[in-house]
Amino acid sequence: MALDRIKQFIESKGWPYRFTDVAELGSIDFEYLGVNYHVWEFRDDQCGVESNVKNIGKLEEFLGDYQNDLIAIMEKWGE
- Greater confidence (61 vs 24) lies with 61
CA-to-CA distance for 26 and 66, rounded, in angstroms?
Answer: 13
What pTM did the predictor assign?
Answer: 0.91
CA-to-CA distance for 39 and 10, rounded, in angstroms?
Answer: 12
In single-letter form, the type of residue at position 30 comes to: F
| Per-residue confidence (pLDDT) for residue 30, from 0 to 100 | 97
pLDDT digits (tens, 9 = 90+) for 16-42: 999 999 888 999 999 999 999 999 999
pLDDT band for position 13 (cuts 50, 70, 90): very high
